[in-house]
Structure 1
Amino acid sequence: MKKIFISAFAASMLLFTYSCDTDFETDVNSIAVSSGEADFSKYVALGNSLTAGYRDNALYVDGQIESYPNMLATQMKLAGGGDFKQPLMADNLGGIPSVGVGNKLVLAVNANGVMGPVVASGNGTTTLQNIYSSGPYQNMGVPGAKSFHLLAPGYGSAANLAQGTANPYFVRFSSSANTTVIADAMAQSPTFFSLWIGNNDVLGYATSGGDGSNPITSEALFTQAYNGLVNTLTSGGAKGVVANLPNVTAIPFFTTVPYNPVPLDAASVTALNQQVFGPLKQILTAYGQGARLQLLGTANNPLLLKDEGLTDLSVQITTALIGGGVPAQQAGLMGMVFGQARHATSADLIPLTTRSAIGAKPSSQMAVAPFDKFGVTFPLEDKHVLSAAEKTEVLNATAKFNAVIRAAATSKGLAFVDANAKMLELAKSSGIQFDGVKYTTTFVTGGTFSLDGVHLTGRGYAVIANEFIKAINAKYKSSLPQVNVNSYSGITFP
């Protein structure tokens, strides 16, 4: 059975197109390498998890080795670049048990013969022991960092972890408890830098379903922080490259789970329509809200969710049901469960992490049969869905932040990478080609995104590295050769 399912996945890989086509202009054997107007002798990379080489929901050694800054540094060495150190984790699990950081995700086949991501077994050996004495480190990507965190004193202090004002990854390689990421970067007197920061300023809100636990950074704070970083990095005459932020609509974390993934048997459809959704839809229609709910079918039923932006009609539903002969206790329960409920539409985005919740029993005391299946008969919570309104907030913020990044690049004469455009290109069904291999954003089989649906594979980071290289060459008249995307790793199958 295991071999059958692995073969099915392998067969899906055959959908990739093999030809001589490529969407990259690269022939590393025929390029005369030159630094042009740039000086790559001391290259320092700043950013978040995307810079660190984070993938599969963890930071681990193999991923760090395939980080895009390490790829850039390798090419820069051909043009006078210096050594490039990274604060490597202790193993390939990625967990930091002392602070609750879990291991990476891996593909595995469960007892039912279904393949999917699971947390790797084993005990991570990485600790919070500071390793700065083996540095300094030129890859200063800090997973989880927002723009203003790179300017925050104490972000590398173990004592501040309990208050949430420090980061365990920076604790490991900061020069002191009170330093900042930007200060440690500038202490190295960089001659060239890359900066890809800001994703977490908006992504945290999106991945938490806009539930308020991780708000979007204000435009004013982002502008102040970003310009502060760029002003500091260029203050010593260093040249550099910056990249903008991808829209969340282009990453598989939000494009893999459809809004209507619920199949039902015919008996359940009849019972639920007659006893639940039919009466509720009739009541809501009387209040001009009939579009909130749909009658169910046997396939492609939309997810049921709670939308806190809707008028709460709990009392109206309860009163109408009692008037129709439903016992008061049951009517009250249905009123509370469905007062702000609606079925999802194609405008809603369902996070990849919600997949495990669909059909599960909620912890709520109101979750009693038949209202005991998340997303089917009990509304998903705010954290489980990025609603159309919340998606608009995310896209608007992303556009504003990207305008700030573009303006800073223009003002300081820096190379600019339109990472958003590249992700949108990958998200098309046609994807991109490299030496005959097709790459897309399709989860698992697309080749570019890792098992967490947010971060890239080695091949995905290579795609990004080439975008950086093209931007650097165009701006500074250098001729760094692009990397061979196909030579890096993708998803590992069991």
Structure 2
Amino acid sequence: MKNYKYIGLLLLSIGVASCDVNNELDPILEDTVPEVQLNAGGLDFSKYIAVGASFTGGFTDGALFIKAQENSFPNTLASKFKLAGGGDFNQPLMGDNIGGFVFGGNAVQPPRLYFNGAGPTRLAALPTTSLTARAEGAPFNNYGIPGAKSFHLTFPGYGSLNPYFGRMASSATATVLGDAMAQSPTFFTLSEVGGNDVLGFATSGGSGVDQKDNLDPSTYGSNDITSPLVFNQVFRGMVGAMTSGGAKGVIATVPDITLLPYFTTVPYNPIPLDAATAGAVNGAYAQYNGGIQQAFGALVAAGAITEAAANAEVAKRTISFSAGQNAVVIIDEDLTNLGAINPAFAALPQLRQSTDKDLLVLTSSTFIGTLADPNNPLSVNGVGVALGDQWVLTETELASVQVATDAYNAIILDVVSTNANVALVDLNAILSEAANGIQFDNYTMTTSLVTGGLVSLDGIHLTGRGYGLMANRILGAIDAKFGSNFTLATDGLSKADDFPTNYSPALR
């Protein structure tokens, strides 16, 4: 308070001494940012149609719900397109902000996740969206179908197999592409087509089949990898159909899904042991290790395998624990099946410990360390009991995912290079960039689970803010290809602060 007194006296003395001087100061003008008018570059946004899978729908935190759909990247794009003559954008909104489906009074798909202070957990609420109820607001502009693989988008009657499309399909035999084309789009986005073609295989720990040479998707299992030959035919046909009436649009590459926290959060060596416990575990595996050495020695002697190959596999299959962090024990079906070579070794399982080239899936975090037999303290999953195929994506399985993803992206890039009506947004590059931090206004977002801000609590899909960033990258791709100026125009881009990274559990 004394400082204010002295300052006041000083100002008074200056005023008295300078009474014959003009003390009127020029007003301080606020900095003004010149308004930049939006230039659409001649694009027609009057009928924008979005086609894709869960990212297009706005899926986040393990579910689809109203607020997430309102924050979907197509809805954000539509709000910007409206500034340039775009029309209304209707979405097949869910019935609540709980997420999931209910049928016969029971939840048949679970509600969304929220952060309870310790980790992601399911909302303790019953969904109100009926599995068989029609969505209101037809015709729709957003054909983002969670779970859809590339060939599903052109499959007649897919609505009977996927409730997200079933609640909006125009008929029992409708296709996603057909319903989208019936709206006569003037502009479109075709995004994350191909993601689900490898995702099911990856999230199931590679429990499906790599169908790389199989041209008949009707024979595929739900977790199989789609043949690039099938993807090539479907994707080229879809882009050809979408642009057949002169419409322009943006297509996206398939991101490397193994950069997502669903595959990077759980380390390969999550087992902490002290020296005494490690020694006891090693004692339990001594007979197995000895049996492996004996079996491969016999195979070398019989000329069934070379000594170098035998030594390499013995080293890979030997189980050894020590004080500190330890790799889990896993079943690896790609190891040599000793029993198939010699029935005398049929009792030796295909076991090894994980390495930093294997990826443990996110759900394994609640399974590793539990007891397979509650009455047997030695039956610790991941230590005394090997993890099954569903908990880990091995190096070999990961290679299958990457080969297919690279093949899909090569096709997408070729389509872009040969079709003047489409621009490219490289989701694969965006996700790679985010691994080290990607800037969105004042935020640096990463792919870390919970804290990264880019990927939602399910470890796979984006947050609302992540979808806002995706919308901006698409707008940038439109500018670069078609000469518009969304990235420079006033309010041409979305703002990070307009999008959440987490939704409150109170939101229903």
Q: TM-score, normalising length from structure 2?
A: 0.81
Cα shift readout 1:389-408 (whole Å, capped 9, x = no counterpart): 01000000000001111111
Name the CA shift for 1:133/1:346 in 2 (closer, same or farther; >3 Å): closer
Q: Say whether 1:486 aligns with 2:497.
A: yes
Name the CA shift for 1:31/1:208 in 2 (closer, same or farther; >3 Å): farther
How far did residue 31 of structure 1 move? Answer: 3.4
Contact kept, 8 Å, 1:350 with 1:385, in 2: the verdict is yes
1:1-400 alignment to 2 at 5 Å? 30-98=35-103, 100-109=108-117, 115-131=118-134, 134-157=137-160, 166-196=161-191, 197-212=193-208, 214-273=223-282, 275-286=283-294, 287=296, 288=311, 289-313=314-338, 336=347, 339-362=349-372, 369=376, 372-400=379-407
Contact kept, 8 Å, 2:275 with 2:323, in 1: the verdict is yes
Contact kept, 8 Å, 1:370 with 1:377, in 2: the verdict is no
The separation in 2 between residues aligned to 1:316 and 1:217, in whole angstroms, is 32
The separation in 2 between residues aligned to 1:317 and 1:354, in whole angstroms, is 33
The separation in 2 between residues aligned to 1:492 and 1:188, in whole angstroms, is 33
Question: SS at 2:359's partner residue?
Answer: coil
How far did residue 188 of structure 1 move? Answer: 0.8
Contact kept, 8 Å, 2:93 with 2:136, in 1: the verdict is no
Q: Which runs of 5+ in 1 are unaligned?
A: 1-26, 110-114, 158-165, 321-334
The separation in 2 between residues aligned to 1:209 and 1:375, in whole angstroms, is 15
How far did residue 107 of structure 1 move? Answer: 1.4
Aligned to 2:12: none
- Code of the residue aligned with 2:322 in structure 1: it is G
The separation in 2 between residues aligned to 1:426 and 1:226, in whole angstroms, is 27
Contact kept, 8 Å, 2:101 with 2:129, in 1: the verdict is yes
How far did residue 483 of structure 1 move? Answer: 1.1
Cα shift readout 1:182-237 (whole Å, capped 9, x = no counterpart): 11111111100000111001111111111125100111111111111111111111
What is the count of residue pairs matched by the alignment? 434
Name the CA shift for 1:398/1:315 in 2 (closer, same or farther; >3 Å): closer
How far did residue 264 of structure 1 move? Answer: 1.9
Contact kept, 8 Å, 2:190 with 2:250, in 1: the verdict is yes
How far did residue 291 of structure 1 move? Answer: 2.8
The separation in 1 between residues aligned to 2:497 and 2:155, in whole angstroms, is 38
How far did residue 130 of structure 1 move? Answer: 4.5
The separation in 2 between residues aligned to 1:358 and 1:129, in whole angstroms, is 37
Contact kept, 8 Å, 2:479 with 2:485, in 1: the verdict is yes
Aligned to 2:438: 432
Contact kept, 8 Å, 1:28 with 1:482, in 2: the verdict is no
Identity of aligned residues (%): 45
1:466-485 alignment to 2 at 5 Å? 466-480=472-486, 481-485=492-496
- Code of the residue aligned with 2:56 in structure 1: it is T
**2:424 alignment partner, one of 413, 416, 425:** 416
Contact kept, 8 Å, 1:292 with 1:342, in 2: the verdict is yes
Q: Which runs of 5+ in 2 are unaligned?
A: 1-31, 209-221, 297-310, 487-491
Contact kept, 8 Å, 1:202 with 1:216, in 2: the verdict is yes
The separation in 1 between residues aligned to 2:341 and 2:171, in whole angstroms, is 60
How far did residue 29 of structure 1 move? Answer: 7.1
Q: TM-score, normalising length from structure 1?
A: 0.83
How far did residue 171 of structure 1 move? Answer: 0.9
Question: SS at 1:392's partner residue?
Answer: helix
Aligned to 1:402: 409
The separation in 1 between residues aligned to 2:440 and 2:166, in whole angstroms, is 38
Contact kept, 8 Å, 1:132 with 1:175, in 2: the verdict is no
How far did residue 314 of structure 1 move? Answer: 6.5
**1:465 alignment partner, one of 466, 471, 490:** 471
Larger radius of gyration: 2
Contact kept, 8 Å, 2:132 with 2:163, in 1: the verdict is no
How far did residue 318 of structure 1 move? Answer: 11
How far did residue 374 of structure 1 move? Answer: 1.4
**Root mean square deviation, CA, Å:** 2.3
The separation in 1 between residues aligned to 2:340 and 2:194, in whole angstroms, is 43
The separation in 2 between residues aligned to 1:32 and 1:474, in whole angstroms, is 17
Cα shift readout 1:236-260 (whole Å, capped 9, x = no counterpart): 1100000011112211111111100
Contact kept, 8 Å, 1:314 with 1:340, in 2: the verdict is no
The separation in 1 between residues aligned to 2:383 and 2:352, in whole angstroms, is 11
- Code of the residue aligned with 1:445 in structure 2: it is T
The separation in 1 between residues aligned to 2:340 and 2:380, in whole angstroms, is 23
Aligned to 1:11: none
How far did residue 271 of structure 1 move? Answer: 1.1
Cα shift readout 1:160-184 (whole Å, capped 9, x = no counterpart): xxxxxx2101111111111111111
- Code of the residue aligned with 2:426 in structure 1: it is D
How far did residue 486 of structure 1 move? Answer: 3.0
How far did residue 133 of structure 1 move? Answer: 5.8
Aligned to 2:13: none
Question: Which structure has the higher relative contact order (CA within 8 Å, separation 6+)?
Answer: 1
The separation in 2 between residues aligned to 1:131 and 1:369, in whole angstroms, is 50
How far did residue 28 of structure 1 move? Answer: 9.8
Contact kept, 8 Å, 1:434 with 1:486, in 2: the verdict is no
Name the CA shift for 1:341/1:191 in 2 (closer, same or farther; >3 Å): same
How far did residue 370 of structure 1 move? Answer: 5.8
Name the CA shift for 1:281/1:316 in 2 (closer, same or farther; >3 Å): farther
